[in-house]
Amino acid sequence: MSAPFHHVAVIGLGLLGSSVAHAVHASLPGTRVTGFDAEPTVRERARVIGMADTIADTAAQAVTGADLVVLCVPVGAMADAAHAMAPGLAPGVVISDVGSSKASVGAALAAALPGHRVIPAHPVAGTEQSGPDAGFATLFRNRWCILTPPADADPADLARMVAFWEALGARVETMDAEHHDLVLAVTSHLPHLIAYTIVGTASDLERVTQSEVIKFSAGGFRDFTRIAASDPTMWRDVFLTNRDAVLDMLGRFSRDLAELETAIRADDGATLFDHFTRTRAIRRSIIEMGQDDARPDFGRGDHVGAE
Ligand code: NAP
């Protein structure tokens, strides 16, 4: 089968951008990759590690001649990045992204690039690392990539985007942007908010010292700290751009938390036991679907990440 695209331009060369570049080189060897990052030191590092065939000094140069552009910048920077590259875009180029919230990104790209073919995407794959050295070619293997095409998207463009992500090892699902934002609010955004909260709470405690928190972290805290180490810029933007869905899920979570608090106060062991039995079954389903590792350390010694 011929490659879905011949020249892929990657804008933003951090964890996601470098992973896309490495994965294209590894899985689509005939496809040219060009890149750009707003930060000169990142561009320099990308050149040193040979991340792409060419690292350009402007976004417009990087996209010149490309038939696919993948924006890999924080969601709050998508509009600026789109405006900067616009002068270099060829007619017929497909514009996509990897942003973690989709309705706001789709709207921002449509407004910044009128008349262009925009098919937003979100590979549900990542780690808590950032920057050009954090990426690796297998990041997307066996992970889901969600495409959120606008209603008037060309089916041929959509088919090429599906083929692109499948070539990179991902499984692809298509849904509308609002539904994506609701699903990800509960599977990704709320867990990050909870992790940021609990790690903050533990570090602000007065009656338990910080060194005790760190020393005894294997009791559960440690697993939250991995998520809470995620990039502050990225996550600030996710909460600001997926505000409504996150607030909806946060309301439900707060009610459920209050119910568990009530059960603890009332010595209601049956409620606690039933709840914990239900949640254990969900973990089993995730392992059965190949979305995590059953080993006791969650397989974190390998490159297993959550977004
Ligand atoms: P990252 O490692 O911080 O990389 C983002 C890069 O984009 C940085 O080098 C940043 O430079 C650069 N940048 C910012 N504004 C730019 C602009 N206007 N033009 C060109 N480059 C610009 O972040 P990441 O984790 O790869 O995240 C990138 C995107 O992927 C985000 O939209 C995020 O929501 C999404 N995503 C992340 C994950 C994850 O687990 N991390 C998973 C799935 C999707 P500066 O550092 O100078 O700002």
What the chain holds in terms of domains, given with CATH numbers, is 7-175 (3.40.50.720), 179-266 (1.10.3660.10)
Ligand 1 — pocket residues by CB below 6 A?
11-17, 37-39, 42, 72-75, 77, 80-81, 98-100, 123, 126-127, 130-131, 231, 234, 238, 307
Q: Please tell me the distance from the alpha carbon of residue 242 to that of residue 80, in angstroms, as a whole number.
A: 19
Residue 304: its pLDDT value, please?
Answer: 44
Q: What mean pLDDT do residues 114-125 have? A: 97
What pLDDT, in 10s, does the model give residues 50-109?
999 999 999 999 999 999 999 999 999 999 999 999 999 999 999 999 999 999 999 999
Compute the distance from residue 37 Cα to the ligand 1 centre, in Å. 9
Interhelix angle for 190-204 vs 232-241, to 10°? 130
Residue 208: its pLDDT value, please?
Answer: 85
User: What pTM was computed for the model?
Assistant: 0.93
Is the pLDDT at 303 greater than 50? The verdict is no
Cα–Cα–Cα angle for 201, 293, 15, nearest 5°? 65
Provide φ and ψ at 207, rounded to 5°.
-85, -10
Partners of 122 in beta bridges: 146
- Both tokens of 213, joined, read 């928190």
Q: Counting every residue, how long is the chain?
A: 307
Query: Edge-to-edge strands of the sheet including 171-174?
Result: 121-123, 144-147, 171-174
Q: Please tell me the distance from the alpha carbon of residue 77 to that of residue 157, in angstroms, as a whole number.
A: 24
| From 37, 75, 181, 239, mutation site for ligand 1 pocket: most ligand atoms within 8 A of C-beta | 37
What pLDDT, in 10s, does the model give residues 224-282?
999 999 999 999 999 999 999 999 999 999 999 999 999 999 999 999 999 999 999 99
What pLDDT, in 10s, does the model give residues 178-193?
999 999 999 999 999 9
The rounded mean pLDDT for the chain is 94
What pLDDT, in 10s, does the model give residues 120-169?
999 999 998 999 999 999 999 999 999 999 999 999 999 999 999 999 99
| From 10, 15, 80, 241, mutation site for ligand 1 pocket: most ligand atoms within 8 A of C-beta | 15
